[in-house]
Every structure is written in structure tokens, then in C-alpha cells.
Structure 1
């Protein structure tokens, strides 16, 4: 695995006592009042404003540090910058690299962490009618057909996933799904996880990795924090 963009930056964030990593204070003012929103915000808001309003804030998170990722903290900045050796697996590659699935009208990613070493990327995307359901279907199809793994590449490097496992779909939203994927880094197996929920025309994708495992060079198994998912999903439906 050549690239360490996401994992290395994530580990550095944790090593720096979970403080600022490519984010300004105004993005996550812990003293701000929690934003109340639903998955169907006012029509006067643009799609970008909608996802910004729906994103959980640090004040709402229950003790998490919530920030925007730093530039370069991903294998690719867009779907167009990423290639996948098995085309059917592209939706999975996007979900595990901070990118939206399908063709959203707007998308926004923040990351959240505590001192546990688990780093979770929350990607919220809003879609035109019918597009969110289509995106979920493509992700479900990919999860079911890419069990033997695949390789995702960009100009920044590449990641070869050795296996993908479909896990029990979590409750919540109009539909949901979950996956676990493995790859090796410095000879150690890393297991990362995703949970994805659709609320009407909005999709929330959670991608978690064990940054302490990368930082300390040992095998790692990511666990998506249920409390964070609960708080974020509560804003969506």
C-alpha cells in the first residue's frame, strides 16, 4: 500500500492530542448552540447549505472533536481522480475514501474522534429525487460482489483491499448498509468499517479506521462509534 494520505494524517491528528488538523476554529466552535435541522431543510437553502446545516457540530457531538479534513487527507479529492481495477467496486472505494456515492448535488465531509484511537469520517450528501436510492443500490451491489477485494488508485498512491465483508445493516433511516474491509499496512492487517444510511434524499456515510494501529504499527480493527451515529442520524430524520 503506497499511500498513507488518509491514515497518516489521521494518526498525526491523534498524536497531536486530537487538536486542529487542517481546520479553522470557526468550523467547529464548541461553544456554539447546536444546530437544529432535518433531512429536508428549507427549500430556500442551496444543496451545499443543506448539508452544512445537517452536519453534526462539535457542540452536539457529546465530547468528540469534529473538524474538516486537511487538504490531502484522502486518496483522491473527487471520484474523477480515483480509478478502481474492478469497476463494480467503485462505490465501495468512494465510501472508504471520504467521497460521496453516486451523483449528489452537494456533499460535505467532517471527521470526528475522541481519545479511543477510532477516527470516523462523516460524509453527508444530498441528491435529486431518486438519486439517493440509486446510490444506495450501487453501494449494496458493490458490497455483495467485491468480497475478494479490489485496488483503488489515484495520483497520490493506491490501496489494495484484500477482502470486503457485508455486515448486519444497522437500524435507522429509510435504508442502511454496513461493510468491513481489510488491507495490510507495514505487514499488519487493518480492518476498516463503513455504515451508510439514507434519509429521503440525504445519505450519511460513516467510515472508521483505527488510527492508533497505524501510528503504533500493529493490527487494527475499527469500530464505528454508535453514540456519534445516533447524534448525527438524529439530525437527519
Structure 2
């Protein structure tokens, strides 16, 4: 997440989506149902506590190539932090937001897995020799939405607490916060609640404005979805949009596809 969580994470990952030729050339209320169950002698307290999935299990549940038409799936690499120890927010209440933007678990758990899902757009540069690749070819190659997907799983009510931590953080951190990640610092200038997809059992969405080293502000969208005791996070960037300040929309197909695999 150097510079902005989009600038470094995207730069390397987006480049990885290009052809080898291009790379070389570029060098509550209680419901009635619940009350009925309680009256029948079946209460939530009598149900066994949820058990977290393991990291290995989560890795198998991540979206795979072919799961979502029109998207390419790649394993997470060095563009994403390996652990929370690599991501520090200057305000404790903002840490869950920073984690969600990094493909890490927003709540308290060690079970975590991540990958990237990118629009599969054919590039005209793929069939060209390095000397024939134009600036337009390079620009068009970056005009794709890339989504960093993270999965995390929790014991008991940990998943619900993780969603609440994100929701509370959106409100508490509206004025912005600072992030130190992988040796670089990032300044979030504002946080705003977004429109969640409604996928899963509950979902929270937010957008952040990120200072681009004094060269304007880039906007990025994040969504966090809970399905049972597993939480998925989605952070979408479009490298070509960084200078415009326009945020890339989180693809509904990706969110719905991942939620379906977790049910």
C-alpha cells in the first residue's frame, strides 16, 4: 500500500496482468421467528458456537479462475502485506479500515487468505513487439478494475464484531487518518460511508480519499461482507483513474460470486 493503497498495490499487480511482451517493453429487534423458536425451546444460546475456518480452508474458498466470467484471478503476491504487523494506522479505531484495504482480516483472527480479481480485457499490445507499443497501448492496459479480495474467519461472534468495527471506524475516521505500510506512509484525507451491495448476511461499504504525495487526491472503494462466521473484503482500484480522482466501482459479480462460495 505504498503511496496510496492503489498506487503501489495496483502498479505491480496491474503490470502483472499485462503480457510478457508488454512487461519487457515497459520495463433486531428480535424477529417473530426468533421468538417462536425461543418459545419452542430452541434458542440461539443452545446452538454450538461457530468455529473459524482455517487459513487452508479459506484459500480453497477464494474465487478461482472461471468462477466469475470476464475476470482473471491471480494469487496474492508481494503487493499485499503479509500480516497486520506490516500495516499501522495512527488511530486504533481506523485500523479495521486499513486492514480491509490491505486484504487483511478487519477483526481478531489469524485465519486469513487473499488474492486479486481483475477485469479480463484484451490488450492490443499483447501481440506487438516492444518497439511498436505506444503510450496509448500502455494506458489502455491499465484501464482495468482490479479487486483485492481478502477472506477471514472467526470463532463465535467474531465475524459480527469485525463488521461492527468497520462500521464504527467509518464514522469515527471520517476526518481521515494515517497509515504506515511496507515502509511507506499514506495519508487518508477523508472516509465516507458507501452503498453496500447487500450480499451475504450483512455488508458495509466505504470510500476513502488518499493524498497522492501532494499531486491531488485519489478515491478508492472498499466493501466488507459477512457470510456466517466468514468475512470477505473487496478493495477495487483502476490505475488509469488515479490522477482523475474517480473511484473504481467494486464489481457486483465479484462480490456475489465470492459470497456464493462461502454459503
State the partner residue of 1:111: 116
Matched, 1:85 2:90: yes
Distance, in Å, in 2 between the alignment partners of 1:18 and 1:64 is: 19
Paired residue secondary structure (2:208): strand
Q: 2:15 aligns with which of 12, 16, 22?
A: 12
Distance, in Å, in 1 between the alignment partners of 2:198 and 2:251 is: 14
CA RMSD in angstroms, aligned pairs only: 2.5
Displacement of 1:77 in angstroms is 2.5
Check conservation: 1:118, 1:212, Cα contact below 8 A: no
Check conservation: 2:118, 2:145, Cα contact below 8 A: yes
State the partner residue of 1:96: 101
Q: 1:60 aligns with which of 64, 67, 76?
A: 67
Q: Which has the larger radius of gyration?
A: 2
Pair 220,58 (structure 1): closer, same or farther in 2 beyond 3 Å: same
Displacement of 1:201 in angstroms is 0.8
Paired residue secondary structure (1:49): helix
State the partner residue of 2:259: 233
Give a deviation string over 1:46-70, Cα, whole Å, max 9, x none: 6123212211111212121101122
Distance, in Å, in 2 between the alignment partners of 1:60 and 1:48 is: 20
Check conservation: 2:174, 2:192, Cα contact below 8 A: yes
Matched, 1:185 2:212: yes
Check conservation: 1:104, 1:132, Cα contact below 8 A: no
Segments of 5+ residues of structure 1 without an aligned counterpart are 22-42
TM-score by length of 1: 0.80
- Which structure is higher in strand share? 1
Distance, in Å, in 2 between the alignment partners of 1:132 and 1:192 is: 24
Displacement of 1:168 in angstroms is 2.4
Describe how 1:137-156 pairs up with structure 2 within 5 A.
137-156=164-183
Distance, in Å, in 2 between the alignment partners of 1:84 and 1:233 is: 28
Paired residue secondary structure (2:109): coil
TM-score by length of 2: 0.72
- Which structure is higher in helix share? 2
Distance, in Å, in 1 between the alignment partners of 2:216 and 2:173 is: 21
Paired residue secondary structure (1:183): strand
